[in-house]
Amino acid sequence: MSTGELADATIIFDLDGTLVDTAPDLVRALNETLDLEGLAHMKAANARGLVGQGARVMIERAAAKSGVVFSTARLDELTRAFIDYYRADIARDSKLFPEAAAAMDALAALGAKLAICTNKRTDLSVQLLEALGVAERFSAIVGADAVAERKPHPDHYRAAVSRAGGVVRRSLMVGDTIADVASARGAGAPVIVVGFGYSDVDADTLGADALLHSFSELTPVSRRLLAARP
């Protein structure tokens, strides 16, 4: 049984754009998929706002920028191709954001359980975290395919907390988009947003309880927010 100041706490992380900078590999897979249709490539800087809603939406939005709309059947095929391209070299250029590992170590040292709540597929999430050597840090990894309703629905957040062995009243969310904020808020949990993520609007407009500019701030902010809860 965990001991420490946060022994009863569960810290839930989003994955893409929050814990791991996955944009380089997601954009690589997206551009390889766009090549199948002869469409213009997306630049990483322009594509970051497309990340967070899954491969299918990335492809739809990227194609729309070229004025192309795919049939449902073709979009299904392209989504499968994207997943194959991505899975083949999932962590070629993806990295934990600076100081993320140290922040996780600090939270774990205080007894907190860590979990992932992501709209990425669970198998891809596990593969990525294993490739980065951090999968074992998490008590649960809950992708969009593992729940009936994904983020922004609060049930996705609740499932991540429950499967990690925690309770919502002693949990908080760390994310980067409105989907993360809405999911945790709907479950009645506080939310921390990182300012360096993939949100398509300014992070300080998302309505989080705290905005991080560096993972070095995560432990003290988490302690403060959790201390305010019974």
Which pLDDT score, from 0 to 100, does residue 2 have?
62
- Write the DSSP assignment of 176-210 as a string of letters: SSHHHHHHHHHHT--EEEETTS--SS-GGGS--SE
| DSSP conformation class of 170 | G
Q: What is the model's pTM?
A: 0.93
Q: What are the φ/ψ torsions at residue 92 (nearest 5 degrees)?
A: -60, -50
| DSSP conformation class of 217 | G
| DSSP conformation class of 15 | -
Which pLDDT score, from 0 to 100, does residue 3 have?
72
| Domains defined for the chain, CATH in brackets | 10-21+94-227 (3.40.50.1000), 23-88 (1.10.150.240)
Compute how many other C-beta atoms are within 10 angstroms of the C-beta atom of residue 114.
23
Check: CB of residue 164 under 8 Å from CB of residue 140. yes
Catalytic residue numbers?
14
Cα distance between residue 137 and residue 58, in whole Å: 29
Check: CB of residue 222 under 8 Å from CB of residue 172. yes
Compute how many other C-beta atoms are within 10 angstroms of the C-beta atom of residue 52.
28
Intervals of the chain under pLDDT 70: 1-2, 47-48, 52-53
Which pLDDT score, from 0 to 100, does residue 43 have?
83
Query: Which residue from 159, 139, 164 is spatially nearest to 148, judged by alpha carbons?
Result: 159
Per-residue pLDDT tens digits for 77-92: 999 999 999 999 999 9
Query: Which residue from 148, 106, 123 is spatially nearest to 15, judged by alpha carbons?
Result: 123
Which pLDDT score, from 0 to 100, does residue 1 have?
52
Check: CB of residue 183 under 8 Å from CB of residue 156. yes
Strand partners, 211: 193
